[in-house]
Amino acid sequence: MADASEIAIESLTHAADKPDRTDSRTRGERDPVSIHPLAVVSPEARLGAGVTIAAFATVEADVELGDHCRIGSGAVVKSGVTAGCHNEFAEHVVIGGAPQHAARPEHVGRVVVGDHNVFREFVTVHRSLKPGTATVVGNHNYVMAGVHFGHDVTVGSNCIFANNGLLGGHATVEDRAFVSGAVAVHQFCRIGRLAMVGGHARVVQDVPPYMLIDGHSGCVCGLNVVGLRRSGHTAADITELKDAYRVIYRRGLTWKQVLETLHADFGSGPVAHLRDFLGCGTRGFAQERRAPPATTLRLRVPDEDAMAVRAKAG
């Protein structure tokens, strides 16, 4: 997962200050910044080449936008936001809002966004609580309408968040995770790499990497095999993960025995990351969904009818 320092923007210039600066990639003319006359843009904002800002958008001071970012109509990019290149902020998003915390300090942290992210309508991303820290969003994420990232959230790269998903404060989502619509993630919870969380799930414990979460129960219902194949994992990788799954959920081992067995039997590959993920955490881990035991429908029959039935049956 990308560190905040790795995805922070190192060199952004104010378009009004240096209109003649050339683009180092093409060594040609710098792409012009397009700001609609009805937009409100602070002269202290630093805008990269080719930034487009639509009508009624607001970009406050102490904002850094990389090359070719697009700000939609009515969007608000507040102070304390650093964003990389080719990000799309759709209509009415609010990036960099103050953290929702009853004991919010006077000075708070920042929001750091990588490259090639899409934030659709009405997405909100809040700044971190403490100065010197950041709410971090990596690269190539697709964040659908109505999603909320709370303060101090860390999101990796290549993740997808469907409509109205909610991440509580300090939540962590690793690379290539898929969070379905209307999912609520409790603060401090983690969602592992390539995990897929079903719609309307209530996530109150850590979701291990590569797992599927049932939206109704919030429990693990198997491996995300389709996601593993699409991401390039081999059949051998998937077989090892299935073996590790049985160790974790099917053999009835204590938690200490589970970790010891994973360390002893799996030295590398995706299971190594799963093992490391399970080795830390503060909220416990999502349990496996178990089918209810087979039941027999019993009917109460009056004695005389029962005798008649038995007589007819011989």
Which 3 state secondary structure label does DSSP give 139? coil
* Closest to 110 measured CA to CA, from 91, 84, 89, 136: 136
Q: What percent of the chain is predicted at pLDDT more than 70?
A: 83
Beta-carbon contacts of 77 under 8 Å, excluding residues fewer than 6 positions away, are 57, 58, 59, 60, 63, 65, 71, 83, 89, 95, 96
Write down the CATH superfamily of domain 4-170: Hexapeptide repeat proteins (2.160.10.10)
Catalytic residue among 67, 152, 175, 206: 152
Q: In tens digits, what is the pLDDT along the chain, a chain of 314 residues?
A: 444 434 343 333 333 333 333 343 444 567 999 999 999 999 999 999 999 999 999 999 999 999 999 999 999 999 999 999 999 999 999 999 999 999 999 999 999 999 999 999 999 999 999 999 999 999 999 999 999 999 999 999 999 999 999 999 999 999 999 999 999 999 999 999 999 999 999 999 999 999 999 999 999 999 999 999 999 999 999 999 999 999 999 999 999 999 999 999 998 899 999 999 999 988 999 999 875 555 444 555 556 655 554 444 44
Identity at 298, one-letter amino acid code: R
Catalytic residue among 92, 126, 151, 170: 151
219-276 pLDDT, tens digit each: 999 999 999 999 999 999 999 999 999 999 999 999 999 999 999 999 889 999 999 9
Catalytic residue among 96, 169, 198, 218: 169
Rounded to whole angstroms, how far apart are CA atoms 94 and 33? 21
Rounded to whole angstroms, how far apart are CA atoms 6 and 1? 10
Sole residue written with tokens 């962590």: 172
Domain boundaries, given as residue ranges, for the chain: 4-170
Instruction: Decide if 169 is catalytic.
Output: yes
* Contact status, residue 109 vs residue 4, Cβ threshold 8 Å: no
Rounded to whole angstroms, how far apart are CA atoms 278 and 257? 12
CA-based angle 110:112:115, to the nearest 5?
165
Q: Which two tokens stand for residue 312?
A: 């007819």
* Closest to 117 measured CA to CA, from 74, 62, 77: 77
* Closest to 143 measured CA to CA, from 118, 166, 169, 168: 118
Helical pair 270-278 and 235-249, crossing angle rounded to 10 deg: 30
> How much is the pLDDT for 267?
81
* Contact status, residue 8 vs residue 82, Cβ threshold 8 Å: yes
